[in-house]
Amino acid sequence: MTKHGTRSCYMLGCRRSECRAAHARYMNMRRNPDIYGDPSRVSSAQWASLLRALTMPLYTLDDLAKLTGVPYGLLKNVRSGRYSNMNRATAERLLPVLDVLPEEPTEEAQAS
């Protein structure tokens, strides 16, 4: 049994006032992400500057993609500023890169 006053109860067909209110809150958040924010998204600006700093002198985007498991294309788009925000789970996958990166640059990065 689904608890009344939740959007899931509304989606199952309940039209009690508290369930309708829960659905209305959800729809307002979907329609106004600038006001309410999207908790599953984070700004990619800080990651863009980090990726630029890491890829210029030491590492290639391919190295970072292999270390983090994040697709190369996504890293490229974040670094270039094409994406203004990114999925929170993806950003969390980039966090360990600060601890995992080796001290020495790769041969590909040295060649460029």
Same domain as 47, residue 88: yes
Angle at 77 between CA 73 and CA 78, to 5 degrees: 115
> Considering the domain boundaries, does residue 71 fall inside one?
yes
Query: Which residue, among 36, 5, 1, 3, has the nearest Cα to 18 in the 3D structure?
Result: 5
Same domain as 95, residue 48: yes
Per-residue pLDDT tens for 4-56? 999 999 999 999 999 999 999 888 877 776 666 667 778 888 888 888 877 76
Same domain as 46, residue 65: yes
SS3 64: helix
Q: What is the number of structural domains in the chain? A: 2
Per-residue pLDDT tens for 62-103? 888 888 888 999 989 988 888 888 888 888 888 877 665 555
Rounded Cα distance, 63 and 106, in Å: 8
**Cα diameter, the chain:** 66
Domain limits for position 64: 41-111
Same domain as 79, residue 49: yes
Same domain as 23, residue 64: no
Rounded Cα distance, 1 and 15, in Å: 15
The pLDDT, as a whole number, for residue 100 is 55
Q: Output the domain CATH number for residue 96.
A: 1.10.260
Same domain as 50, residue 26: no
Same domain as 60, residue 17: no
The pLDDT, as a whole number, for residue 107 is 63
Same domain as 58, residue 16: no
